[in-house]
Copies of this chain bind each other. A is one copy, B any other.
Amino acid sequence: MNVEFMNPFLNNVINVLEVMGHTELQVEKPKIKKGDIAFGDISGLIGMVGPKTKGSFSITFEKQLALRVMRRMLGDNLQEIDDEVSDMVGEITNMVTGGAKKELSAKGYEFDMATPIVVAGKNHTINHKHDGHVIFIPFSSDSGKLYIEICFG
């Protein structure tokens, strides 16, 4: 994967979580995923298709962080992941990918987004099936971790 693709996703995750979710993220070291697995409780996934490229993006939240963002965005004080949290994660997935699409388009990389899918389940794992590298970026916050994975090219 072209590393130029990484930063627009990284920046948009930080921006969307800050502006919409009132949550400050600290980015940890991005790395190329090699069999190592990160566990999460709710994930938004989306496919991307360009004229010569295809790929996928995912954003995975620990439960406590998803619930905290929900509370900060909508005021809901939930104890468990429900349909509203699922909708929020789908919306964040759309916003991050849409923001990255806009930045990448300005650099000449065009792609279209599919519709997002949200997966919920304690300690699930995500595995992008792509011939190229998968970039894995963990983020920490005051309420737990999230991570993103991107493959494109």
- A133 CB within 8 Å of chain B: no
The answer to whether A117 and B121 touch (CB under 8 A), given A47-B56, A49-B112, is no
- A10 CB within 8 Å of chain B: no
Contact of A128 among B91, B117, B122 (CB under 8 A): B117
- A126 CB within 8 Å of chain B: yes
Count the copies. 2
Across the interface, which residues of B come within 8 angstroms of A87, CB to CB?
129
CB <8 Å contact, B124 and A45? no
A interface secondary structure, majority: strand
Within 8 A of B (CB), among A85-138: 86-87, 90-91, 93-94, 112-130
CB <8 Å contact, B43 and A119? yes
Q: How far is the CA of A120 from the CA of B115 in the complex (A)?
A: 20
- A6 CB within 8 Å of chain B: no
CB <8 Å contact, A126 and B119? yes
- Contact mask A77-88 → B, CB, 8 Å, 1/0? 000000100110
Q: How far is the CA of A46 from the CA of B127 in the complex (A)?
A: 12
The answer to whether A130 and B118 touch (CB under 8 A), given A45-B45, A47-B49, A49-B47, is no
Q: How far is the CA of A62 from the CA of B57 in the complex (A)?
A: 25
Which A residues are closer than 8 A to B by beta carbons?
Answer: 35, 43, 45-49, 54-56, 58, 83, 86-87, 90-91, 93-94, 112-130, 151
